[in-house]
Amino acid sequence: MPVPSEAVHELREYGSAVFEGIRLSDADRRLLADGRLDARLRLRELAGGKLEVTAYQYVGAVRLDGCEIRVRPKYLGTELDVLRMLDLAWGAARDPLPTAQEFRGGAPNLRDLVCLMVVEHGERLLRHGVRRDYLTVEDDLRVVRGRLLPDRQLVRHLGRLDRLACRFEEHDADIPDNRLCAAALALAARTARAPGVRARARRAAAEFAAHAPTAPGDVRALLSGLAFHRHNEHYRPAHGWARLLLLGGGLDGLFASGALAARAFLVDMNRLFEDFVTRLVEWGAAGSGLLVTSQSRHRKVLYDERAGRSHGEVRPDLLVTGRREGEPFRLPVDVKYKLYDTRKLSPEDLYQAFLYAQTLGRGLGGDPPVRVLLHPGDGSARGARVAVRRLDGPVTARVRAVPVDLAAVLAEQAGPGPSRAADRLFSQLLG
């Protein structure tokens, strides 16, 4: 059952608040005692029907028996912007996204938006016909089909000719591709808050269950075994939204099973920001002749001289390489979802940045190497510039912070004309 609107309490990410008039049920207390939620959203019951809530970099909602706690994004206007970020981070805006006008009961929460995307893609697959594939089946039949299994026949039906143990191929829709969609639609039907989304999810879930009645089991195991090819490539967006919903908004599978998966939907904005910015930089680099590599590993930078082997690896978030003005060029880039529009760069981030600049960076014309730090910020914010100098004065490396105005980028991407946001960001990155 949906939680009444008056029982919804909101705060911004990285914020904290004390809400009154909340009495947790025994089920709520058992859920919180598990401890897995604490790293994402810390809830502490106080005396007098109060609940202390501390939010981190996760946005979404947690549903309790007594209320719903909703964490809204700090750098974005609404949860619809988070949905746009998710869609763009996965490659491009594949489909028209929902609008607030589609939800008559007020502003939608992030879970309902993802539920709606699960339903949209599930209905599309049903309209075009769900995929079927050949499955290996073992069964006892009256006539031989496929291959007779002598061992099983001797053990189970010795001397009988009316029961024959066979192994054969069955062309069926009860395959992992459809089981994943069926499971996500069933979850949307149980947990969607908006009545319209819930009704559509129930209809689609019933149709999919008829095609794929087998439960998916461990969602993480099912996802790890899926592979896309020409026969199921059209399932990719449906699987993306289903994965997000079934894992409770988490990309690491923390909520992949148990009651917490149905109650908590929290998206890691740190991870999403990194994926989103990576996609923008890749788009901006297209046609520039420069290569953008994500999470490249370098084991020759840190070296244990006594042992004569690598001491570890360095792995920049992004590494831009190629030739500029006829010279070799390398630019390591760090992506941080931190509040650097309102405070100084932390010493830890600076130390890492200077290490990467010195070891991986390569400037032009003998200029000191540079490491760029991309972070969310207001469009009017000026990025920090920090240099490291030797005691005798010369600059040996620089760190440039470049703010990314998420709201402006998303508004431009959603506009009617072509967006130049990725090109501008890449130009700022190059300096």
Helix/strand/coil (H, E, C) string of 198-261?
HHHHHHHHHHHHHHCCCCCCCHHHHHHHCCCCCCCHHHHHHHHHHHHHHCCCCCCCCCCCCHHH
| Alpha-carbon span 190 to 205, nearest angstrom | 10
CB atoms inside a 10 Å sphere around CB 396: 13
pLDDT of the residue at 156: 86
Per-block average pLDDT, block size 10, for the chain (431 residues)? 62 92 87 84 90 92 87 85 87 62 68 91 92 87 89 87 88 90 93 89 95 85 85 90 85 56 84 93 92 89 84 90 91 89 84 88 87 85 82 87 90 81 92 82
| pTM for the full predicted model | 0.82
pLDDT of the residue at 106: 62
AA identity, residue 10:
E
Residue carrying structure tokens 């890691």? 268
pLDDT of the residue at 94: 55
CB of 113 within 8 A of CB of 120? no
pLDDT of the residue at 323: 92
pLDDT of the residue at 424: 92
3-state secondary structure of 1: coil
pLDDT of the residue at 254: 53
What burial class does residue 141 get, using C-beta atoms within 10 Å of its C-beta: 0-12 exposed, 13-18 middle, 19+ buried? middle
